[in-house]
Amino acid sequence: MVVGGDAGGGLRGPGSAVADTVAPVNANTSTWSPAPTALLTDHYELTMLQAALRDGTALRRSVFEVFSRRLSNGRRYGIVAGTGRFLEGLAQFRFHGERLEFLERTGVVDATTAQWLADFRFSGQIQGYAEGDAWFPNSPILRVDGTFAEACMLETYILSVLNYDSAVASAASRMTSAAGERPCLEMGSRRAHDEAAVAAARAAVIAGFTGTSNLEAGYRYGVKTIGTAAHSFTLLHNDEQSAFRSQLEAQGLGTTLLVDTYDVDAAVRKAVELGGPELGAVRLDSGDLVAQAGRVRDLLDSLGNTKTRITVTSDLDEYAIASLAAAPVDAYGVGTRLVTGSGVPTSSMVYKLVARENSAGELEPVAKKAAGKGSVGGRKTALRRRDAHGVATHEIVGVDTVPVDDGDDRPLMETFVRDGELVDGWTGPAAVERARQRHAATMAELPRAASRLSEGEAVIPTVLVS
Amino acid sequence: MVVGGDAGGGLRGPGSAVADTVAPVNANTSTWSPAPTALLTDHYELTMLQAALRDGTALRRSVFEVFSRRLSNGRRYGIVAGTGRFLEGLAQFRFHGERLEFLERTGVVDATTAQWLADFRFSGQIQGYAEGDAWFPNSPILRVDGTFAEACMLETYILSVLNYDSAVASAASRMTSAAGERPCLEMGSRRAHDEAAVAAARAAVIAGFTGTSNLEAGYRYGVKTIGTAAHSFTLLHNDEQSAFRSQLEAQGLGTTLLVDTYDVDAAVRKAVELGGPELGAVRLDSGDLVAQAGRVRDLLDSLGNTKTRITVTSDLDEYAIASLAAAPVDAYGVGTRLVTGSGVPTSSMVYKLVARENSAGELEPVAKKAAGKGSVGGRKTALRRRDAHGVATHEIVGVDTVPVDDGDDRPLMETFVRDGELVDGWTGPAAVERARQRHAATMAELPRAASRLSEGEAVIPTVLVS
């Protein structure tokens, strides 16, 4: 598979093929790994650790769970993303060098705790929902079994990764659902923090986007990258004609020409004149896209360019995409609204201690009672109940019990880390491709009402059993 | 200055002092520098480069500017943040090794362009608004003078950094303005992408926050970190009393005890019983904060703990902070709403080519005409017009001219990079402290109406002169 240079959906780029939209994740030879992650956490995780080390409770066996109490903004489902990124970062969650010195020098921890941190290596179990799967209120999205010390310290880092990546994937899934068979392209890097942009590209591809403009995401995760030219390229040249000619010569006839720098109709005529019938696509980035797309399609057809595609890229979200369903548009480029979660810029996932060893050495459920923020104690396991046609009907969450599969159900808890060791297949480019397939399968399994964009209830109810 | 262990505002932490709230940025011995940044960009920057290299326009002298057409959500002003982070990243904006091989292997660039990239080093000029200063519609926030090739390539990275960091700083400034003399503490890491969380902490401190929970921000930028304990620490122990006792022993009487895990009144009584009159603070993280703060204050006072402070931390934003102005609250911990820009998760800054060399070798203004997205061609310079009392009255933007200082004005364009070399003082911990001071001075200079939280017009109008 070739990573092409075509913002028009990857179907016409030089060297690309239709298959690109089906498998936008490539095998990858990158040796990239994240920078040290252990200080991407809150100060209080370490002050709690220190107090617990002193009073002897630090090594109590504990169970922490990631879940959310609600789907924000009346969404029908959420999509899990970020687990692979977290697992990649977990390998770098170590305390040494300047960072450890910083903690001791500034008094965050004392010498005893610093020594403990220097020797720290996560040795517990991590299970949870596969990336790309759907989540609902109270789904046990990730579960960490270990000592209080090791499980507590991961809180902030786990939530940072899952809350952002899942926010983007959840929005992206609504967009690809609204787009139907038309490809969606991720172009939001400039409207997200520079590193968040890479995570957003990864999450978007998991949720069905067919490519991203973000090169670092291509490098790290093997996802298909796309792009041709901006308005500045046209403005750089003496006239639009020179810019189009240069782009066609450098990128081939399959490229996408941006036609709204000056006058759209005139630009389309120039594009066809220079590119001929094989011109790949034109891009519209402003104005009333429904009206413009219709006019440009008519013009292209009247000039004989019936196969030249139309890509639109101005302030799109799932609603705008849905409103363009009847317009002659061939691909959607989505930016700002995607990387900011389309109104939900962060997920509402929390990480809570749900059980811990008591003085007698037994695991005991625990829960806080705080107003509006209470939680359900006990270790959770989940499956998705499905009817005889394979359609999801309930999210079944067992509390201190494993719910029984009635024959058509799908167990949801995968094992990511066993005794501190990463289980193969959940990190790197392979994990992105696996998550993309999981997302597609999950969407096929959810009831049709999942694709409703209007506000409402979760598309399936969560049932807690014990 | 000591980085204390007190979520209660840093005024009572062991070893901390009142001065902490005045100078929350410390000198720092970290040798941290960002990972390679050159691929944190959009594919099309490099396809444009390649086409321009082929057609001979790549080396045309060009001027790109960062600006925004509007203040989102009826805000009265924006705050610039991120410039220092961008400048730190600029030094790592080089193409080599695996990343360069990736670009060539996947066909993003050809061998000629790859060779050009291998030799690339930014050699132009970068000027703009100081971090911490205010920006308004059409303010020339950052201006890059160089060849098209080198200036074009920086687009995505510059915008990623400035759009996110400025979104957080702009929200943070409204929060510290609403909080008045009471300290605001940044605690949002878990609701932002893991690296964005570090940038958010930095931006919050620039806009007047007195500390952050984010340890990596403390390590990289010397900002004060704060934190004591979460609900999980209470739940870990056999009872609340054991947890409080352990925390007081480990962190000292100046610590902040979290009192809403079970029953607030009972917890406050236990806290006072164990901590005595020197107990630093209690923290409320749920419920009706106005009512709770009043009741807890009365209870503390009735128990003789008149100096024990109250920190609140549940879903705060600038509006909630303002509504708590009359409540007996001593410090605000702000999370989700801060790191997501309080309704504006990204700034609307764009990066546009405004002038470039023509065939005759002269610099010529350029601008696109796209519907609703037009721009003003020409190289901009700005100053803030002030009246005889030093109060800002206008943002004066000169288009291809330098506006004349009328005696009370303040020039706004600082020089960050000269002939490719970083100018001292705009990166690292020193830049954060400098930006914090710039923000405080700017806020003192803006009209009082700047602090209005209601939607409205920019607090001063922007006037373009030519």
CATH code (residue A240)? 3.20.20.70
Q: Which chain B residues have a beta carbon less than 8 Å from that of A201?
A: none
pLDDT digits (tens, 9 = 90+) for A207-251: 999 999 999 999 999 999 999 999 999 999 999 999 999 999 999
Kindly give the interhelix angle for B240-251 and B264-275, rounded to the nearest 10 degrees: 40
Same domain, A80 and A141: yes
Same domain, B131 and B228: no
pLDDT value, residue A25:
72
Q: Is residue A3 part of a domain?
A: no
Indicate the number of domains in chain B: 2
Q: Is residue B13 part of a domain?
A: no
Same domain, A208 and A312: yes
Domain boundary among A303, A322, A343: A343
Q: B90 CA to chain A: closest CA distance, Å?
A: 12
pLDDT value, residue A23:
53
B287–A194 C-beta distance less than 8 A: no
pLDDT digits (tens, 9 = 90+) for B158-186: 999 999 999 999 999 999 999 999 999 99
Q: Is residue B4 part of a domain?
A: no
pLDDT value, residue A428:
96
Closest partner CB to A42 (pick from B196, B214, B367): B214
A160–B197 C-beta distance less than 8 A: yes
Percentage with pLDDT > 70 across chain A: 93
Domain boundary among A292, A323, A343: A343
Q: Which chain B residues have a beta carbon less than 8 Å from that of A4?
A: 107
Window from A14-18, A65-69, B397-401 with minimum mean pLDDT: A14-18
Domain boundary among A294, A313, A343: A343
Same domain, B124 and B170: no
A189–B40 C-beta distance less than 8 A: yes
Same domain, A82 and A170: no
Q: Indicate the pairing of strand A309-312 with strand A331-334.
A: parallel
Checking if the pLDDT of B289 tops 50, the result is yes
Checking if the pLDDT of A3 tops 90, the result is no
Mean pLDDT of all residues in B439-443: 98
Show the domain range for B368: 43-153+348-465
Q: Which residue, among A3, A32, A48, A357, would best test binding to B if mutated, counting the most B CBs under 10 Å from its CB?
A: A48
pTM for the model stands at 0.95
DSSP state of B304: T
- How high is the ipTM of this complex? 0.94
Q: What is the CATH number of the domain that holds B76?
A: 3.20.140.10
Considering only residues B461 and A20, tell me which one the structure prediction assigns the higher pLDDT. B461
Checking if the pLDDT of A27 tops 70, the result is no
Q: Is residue A158 part of a domain?
A: no
Q: Is residue B6 part of a domain?
A: no
Checking if the pLDDT of B17 tops 60, the result is no
Same domain, A66 and A143: yes
A218–B43 C-beta distance less than 8 A: yes
Checking if the pLDDT of B265 tops 50, the result is yes
Q: B237 CA to chain A: closest CA distance, Å?
A: 7
Among B4, B9, B5, B2, smallest CA distance to B229 is for B5
Q: Is residue B75 part of a domain?
A: yes
Same domain, B180 and B263: yes
Q: B325 CA to chain A: closest CA distance, Å?
A: 22
Same domain, A359 and A408: yes
Q: Which chain B residues have a beta carbon less than 8 Å from that of A106?
A: 2-3, 26, 218, 225
pLDDT value, residue B3:
31
Q: Using CA atoms, how far apart are residues A115 and B197, in angstroms rounded to an integer?
A: 27
Kindly give the interhelix angle for B289-302 and B264-275, rounded to the nearest 10 degrees: 40
pLDDT digits (tens, 9 = 90+) for A162-212: 999 999 999 999 999 999 999 999 999 999 999 999 999 999 999 999 999
Same domain, B334 and B308: yes
Q: Is residue B33 part of a domain?
A: no
Same domain, A421 and A354: yes
Same domain, A354 and A331: no
Same domain, A206 and A249: yes
Q: A124 CA to chain B: closest CA distance, Å?
A: 17
Among B263, B282, B168, smallest CA distance to A368 is for B263
Q: Is residue A5 part of a domain?
A: no
